Amino acid sequence: MKIFVDTANIKEIEELVSWGIIEGATTNPTLISREEGDPKDIIKKICELVKGPVSAEVVSQDAEGMIKEARELAKIDEHVVIKIPMTVEGLKAIKVLSQEGIKCNTTLVFTPMQALLAAKAGARYVSPFVGRLDDISSYGMRLIEDILTIFDNYGFNTEVIVASIRHPMHVLEAALMGAHIATIPPKVIRQLVNHPLTDIGIERFLKDWEKVKKR
Ligand code: E4P
């Protein structure tokens, strides 16, 4: 499973890239709004750091507007992937853009059928939002299981990006299910590293090493 970082914060991305585990990044209008500066500069910088797929979202609601925005965003860097919302207009835009070779990530996917339609339209990625489903008492990870089954049944190349991740259990379940990608907020990536027994183990080894040094 590939790990993408779900943030537009350059400092966080710089740090996490240095760990050697980041293979892509996802942004959305909310994440970009939390950072200072020109959105295009932010996307460019993320691409330079990550050197892998970086999702940048369109905000137009009509296909024509989405396509225009997408073509501009795609010029920023070869790694830019266009995030398109899962609507009828979005499907029309995905069809045109994918035929032009511009990779699309269909966002705000909440049902397996939306994922199927996005894949048929030519989406390179679909982003089902598991946390937002959990938030309304719906089992988010079940959606991932269903989409993976459907894509496998029919041999789609579209990759599933598990999005709206809230905690390490989402990541574990995604990996057990064989999801292609998890896009994870920095806070949750940090949670994946830590274990109290690791800390206790290091402390004990260092303490014992003090005895060796006194020999
Ligand atoms: C990623 O592609 C999504 O934009 C992001 O994971 C949404 O997460 P949220 O539901 O925590 O806003």
Between CA 159 and CA 136 the distance in angstroms is: 25
**Phi/psi-derived region of residue 108, left when phi > 0, alpha when psi is between -120 and 50, beta in every other case:** left
Active site residue 83: yes
Can you give the pLDDT at residue 171? 98
Label residue 82 by pLDDT band (50, 70, 90): very high
What is the token pair recorded at 23? Answer: 């293979």
Which residues is 182 bridged to in the sheet?
3, 162
| Torsion angle of C-alpha atoms 21, 23, 27, 33, degrees rounded to 10 | 50
Query: From the CB of 163, is ligand 1 less than 6 Å away?
Result: yes
pLDDT in tens, 125-154: 999 999 999 999 999 999 999 999 999 999
Query: From the CB of 6, is ligand 1 less than 6 Å away?
Result: yes
Handedness of CA 61, 146, 181, 169 (dihedral sign): positive
Domains of the chain: 2-213 (3.20.20.70)
Can you give the pLDDT at residue 202? 98
Which residues is 189 bridged to in the sheet?
none
Expressed in angstroms and rounded, the spacing between residue 30 Cα and the centre of ligand 1 is 9
SS3 116: helix
pLDDT in tens, 2-36: 999 999 999 999 999 999 999 999 999 999 999 99
Q: Among 2, 44, 51, 83, which one carries the catalytic annotation?
A: 83
Query: From the CB of 159, is ligand 1 less than 6 Å away?
Result: no
